[in-house]
Structure 1
Amino acid sequence: MTIRFGLLVFPGIQQLDLTGPYEIFASAEGAEVHLIWKDTSPVISATKLVLQPTTTFDECPQLDVICVPGGGGINPLLEDEIVLSFIRAQAAQARFITSVCTGSLVLGAAGLLKGRKATTHWNAHDFLASFGAVPTTGRIVRDGNLITAGGVTAGIDFGLAVVAALLGQEEAETVQLSLEYAPTPPFHSGTPEEATADVIARTKRRLAGSRTAREAVIARLMASQREPV
């Protein structure tokens, strides 16, 4: 049985948001994985890695799993009706609608989070309510056929959870072992709850540019929704 996974790939994507779950999905038995964008020209990630889309919106088959990764590059997508229309169309028939990191905000802009539990990167969690979501803390949050993951590295855990939902725990554990995924980080500062105040402040300063731009985009979207028809 073939299972079709599709991950959006776009300029300014956080590459590990994409490549973490991609590696998990591609390692699952019977997987067919597509990297999708408006055209098949290479795109450059936020950290300058060049990524190659494999299909276009127009040519993409119906997916079993649609996944929207995150990164600074999501800001333009929040107002890009071509992207949002594609996501809505795929989501209507997909078995699972998913995201990693700030990709959930794109699902929100597409109208797919209303009244549903969702998560995202800790530095963007407060934006979820703007899209009608029920902000929920967690590395993986599932609400029916909606599965959202926290920031960046959560995409690996998320990928295993999706494979388990589709093919069972044994297959997910087989993929985990084949990739020797047994993380033991050298530091315990991977969440705001664990990190020191100095590290949190430094990280927020580093992320401030993208967050400020995102605040402006979301403010425009909220204002447009309040305008009388």
Structure 2
Amino acid sequence: MHAQIVLFDGFDPLDAIAPYEVLVAGSDFVGGELEVELVSAEGPRPVVSGSRGLVLQATGTLDPAKPGYVIVAGAVGPLDGDPDEGAVTIPVLLARFGETAAVPLMRKAFDNPDITVATVCGGSLALAMAGLLEGRNANTHHLGIDVLEATGVTPVRARVVDDGDLVSAGGVTSGLDLALHLLDRSYGPRVALAVEEMFAYERRGTVWTATGREPKTS
């Protein structure tokens, strides 16, 4: 089983590293069965984040044929600025994702029944703005909820939203909770708990799924 964490120019480092560390620790607890890798659509290369030029090395090419998880990070950068004047803000970085070779590869990933796509923070926005999430349930950073809804996605304000082959998490640190949920889904609660204990971290929030009774609102 594979966990491919997708890097792109302007990505948020914590969106990538938090799930990377959690999944690597989980892999250790299952004897290395889970292969975790930082990838890019363009193949192995240094990828410059949006956090003061911090660089991470993508060691592989995003492969939508590999079974497992494809995890898309969000972006980081200034919030304000006029794109028409060349300001490279978070919305600009997320929109640029839609112009890369990642989009056709992500389409193939969604078409592969052996892959679950997962997103951290603005990663869901990057996919939604590229037209890949219409009609789905998802979460993102709270500042991007309106944009997410405008793309035809139903926003769910839960820490982790499990919509079957799409799992999304809102907020930068939610990458920890997302990855722990993925471990729980694939290998069970004992493996997830072992990672929680090693990291001295307890998962936050409720994992939302489209099951159970609808809450009364009046």
TM range (shorter): 0.7 to 0.9
Q: Which amino acid aligns with 1:53?
A: A
Aligned length: 180
1:87 counterpart residue number: 106
* Runs of 4+ with deviation above 6 angstroms: none
| 1:32-60 deviation digits (Å, cap 9, x = unpaired) | 01211113221121112210001124x67
Measure the CA separation in 2 of the matches of 1:84 and 1:171.
32
SS of the aligned residue for 2:58 comes to: coil
The CA distance in 2 between the partners of 1:167 and 1:121, in whole Å, is 28
* 1:42 partner SS: strand
Q: Distance in 1 between matches of 2:72 and 2:203?
A: 24
- Spell out the pairing of 1:161-176 with structure 2 (5 A cutoff): 161-176=181-196
**Helix, strand or coil for the counterpart of 1:52?**
strand
Partner amino acid, structure 2, of 1:33: V
For residues 73-114 of structure 1, give each alpha carbon's deviation from its aligned partner in whole angstroms, at most 9, with x where no partner exists.
32311233x210011112222431110011002222444322
* Amino acid corresponding to residue 34 of structure 1 in structure 2: E
> Could you say which structure has the higher helix fraction?
1
Distance across 2 between alignment mates of 1:60 and 1:135:
26
Number of the residue aligned with 1:223: none
Long gaps (5+) in structure 2:
76-89, 205-218
CA–CA distance in 2 between the matches of 1:105 and 1:13?
Answer: 12
Q: Which residue of 1 aligns with 2:45?
A: 41
Q: 1:164 and 1:183 mapped to 2: Cα distance?
A: 11
TM-score of the pair, normalised by structure 2: 0.76
Is the Cα–Cα contact under 8 Å of residues 109 and 131 in structure 1 kept in the other structure? yes
Give me the whole-angstrom Cα distance separating, in 2, the residues matched to 1:41 and 1:69: 17
Query: How many percent of aligned residue pairs carry the same amino acid?
Result: 33
> What TM-score comes out, normalization by structure 1 length?
0.73
**Letter of the 1:67 counterpart:** I
Give the alignment of 1:77-156 within 5 angstroms.
Answer: 77-80=97-100, 82-93=101-112, 94-156=114-176
**Paired residue for 1:51, among 51, 56, 63?**
56
Gaps of 5+ in 1: 185-229
